[in-house]
Amino acid sequence: MSKRSVYDAEPIPVSAKAVIDGLMESGDLFRYTASVDDPSQVTLLEKEFAEFMGVKYALAVNSASSAIYLSLLAVGVSPGDQVLIPAWTFAAVPSAVVNAGALPILVEVGADLRIDMADFKQKLNGKTKAVIISHMRGHTSDMDAIMALCDAADVPVIEDAAHSLGTLWNGKKVGTMGAAGCFSFQSYKMVNGGEGGMLLTNDPDILAKTVFMSGAYEHNWAKHAHPDVPFEKYQNLFPLFNLRMNNLSAAVIRPQIPLVDERVAKGLSNYEYVESKLNASGFIAVPKADHRERRAPDSLQFNLIGFSDEEAFDVMQISKQRGNMISIFGMQGDNARVFWNWKFIGNVPELPITRAMLKRACDIRLPIGLTREELDQTVDFILDCVSDAKRAVA
Ligand SMILES: Cc1ncc(COP(=O)(O)O)c(C=O)c1O
């Protein structure tokens, strides 16, 4: 296996150092100390990220989870409301729904790692207050169909693009199609801020409400410098949850935004190289990209073909013994992306399509910095573990 660990995060550009040194000297870490004329690192990041994504407004927060939670409240989700979410996503998503006092309704996800549209159509009904679509690991569901159905039903869509910065759907940037788009800068993402999140929207009311709730107390909203946003209309009407980003995080994130396109190109070329080699094995199928999708991968998912539960479990065990576990979502005890582990939501429904997918879908990180040689080692490692698991049981 390669010397570089697949758990390595993206390094921080050295240009961040001078800004961080300045912040350390001044101690000016709070986003709202700065003036409108000399904006804080957080305000500059919001401006740059909104421009990069081609969206009117951006609000920096401390995580994608916070961005999702604030989006739910801003589109009017109240206690007891139903919110559709994919049954394959990170536990943070049902958690955000629970945090809003609402009820997550889980929609099946198929072996192609996309939302099962028949189940989606059946579950989208008069009781649905909002829909969250997780572009999970960058696998994009049919956003044309989802947006058309939700627009017709007048149901807001919140895009969870936590793990898919740089992914395109039909030429549109993922996270820019719904009422709000939420991104993560936690370390294992395309942009590494340690922790951090961003909420994007073109809706001035959503921005105003989320700015207040994120912690812009009193008149700190003025520092967002958006004269077209009706902040005064919402003054004192929303609670303050204090989910702000601080200037140090923004200073680490800012110099990485101009690198996103380059990182996406590298990640995609790595992915396609590994994909073609893995698909040559009869034991493995990498879910095909939809022709409308351009992925931005920093991890790889593939399905085991013709494996029993025992053989699939052995893939995990063998790879773990050899130093780099190939995780199978539904075989790894308390995996946070597995719906039957979300006991906190109450009655966990049975979802046979998603369950079958999770029992055979493998997950391995593919950091974009890997060299060709390291990619070859990764491929050999996967193929050896998979074929040895088959042999071990036979
Ligand atoms: C699909 C998905 N949604 C939401 C999140 C939550 O992101 P954060 O850690 O920034 O709250 C993650 C984090 O990995 C994720 O993968």
> Which atom from ligand 1 is nearest to the alpha carbon of 188?
14
Q: How far apart are CA 235 and CA 225, in angstroms?
A: 16
- What domains, with CATH codes, occur in the chain? 16-258 (3.40.640.10), 260-393 (3.90.1150.10)
Question: pTM of this prediction?
Answer: 0.96
C-alpha distances out from residue 24 to 17, 45, 185, 193, Å: 10, 18, 21, 17
Ligand 1 center from residue 68 Cα (angstroms): 9
What is the model's pLDDT at position 336?
98
Among 69, 95, 115, 163, residue to substitute to test ligand 1 (most atoms within 8 Å of Cβ): 163
> Which atom from ligand 1 is nearest to the alpha carbon of 163?
16
Among 109, 141, 165, 186, residue to substitute to test ligand 1 (most atoms within 8 Å of Cβ): 186
User: At 260, which amino acid appears?
Assistant: V
> Which atom from ligand 1 is nearest to the alpha carbon of 66?
11
What is the model's pLDDT at position 215?
98
Ligand 1 center from residue 370 Cα (angstroms): 23
What is the model's pLDDT at position 9?
82
Ligand 1 center from residue 228 Cα (angstroms): 31
What is the model's pLDDT at position 391?
78
**Residue 350, burial from CB neighbour count under 10 angstroms (0-12, 13-18, 19+):** exposed
Ligand 1 center from residue 189 Cα (angstroms): 9
Full DSSP string of 102-114: -EEEEE-B-TTSS
What's the gap between Cα 113 and its chain centre? 14
Ligand 1 center from residue 378 Cα (angstroms): 25
Q: How far apart are CA 223 and CA 213, in angstroms?
A: 15
Ligand 1 center from residue 130 Cα (angstroms): 19
Ligand 1 center from residue 184 Cα (angstroms): 6
> Which atom from ligand 1 is nearest to the alpha carbon of 185?
10
> Which atom from ligand 1 is nearest to the alpha carbon of 164?
1
Full DSSP string of 141-204: P-HHHHHHHHHHHT--EEEE-TT-TT-EETTEETTSSSSEEEEE-STTSSS--SS-EEEEES-H
Among 61, 65, 71, residue to substitute to test ligand 1 (most atoms within 8 Å of Cβ): 65
Among 184, 192, 363, residue to substitute to test ligand 1 (most atoms within 8 Å of Cβ): 184
Give pLDDT < 50 ranges for the chain: 1-2
The helix or strand, by DSSP H or E, that contains position 83, with its residue range, turns out to be: strand 82-86
Output the residue whose Cα is nearest ligand 1's atom 7: 64
Q: How far apart are CA 198 and CA 341, in angstroms?
A: 27
CB 315 within 8 A of CB 328: yes
Ligand 1 center from residue 35 Cα (angstroms): 32
> Which atom from ligand 1 is nearest to the alpha carbon of 196?
10
CA dihedral 321, 322, 326, 327 (to 10 degrees): 20
What is the model's pLDDT at position 1?
44
Ligand 1 center from residue 4 Cα (angstroms): 24
Ligand 1 shell residues, CB under 6 Å: 63-65, 89-90, 92-93, 134, 136, 160, 162-163, 184, 186, 197
Ligand 1 center from residue 107 Cα (angstroms): 18
CB 164 within 8 A of CB 175: yes
CB 368 within 8 A of CB 267: yes
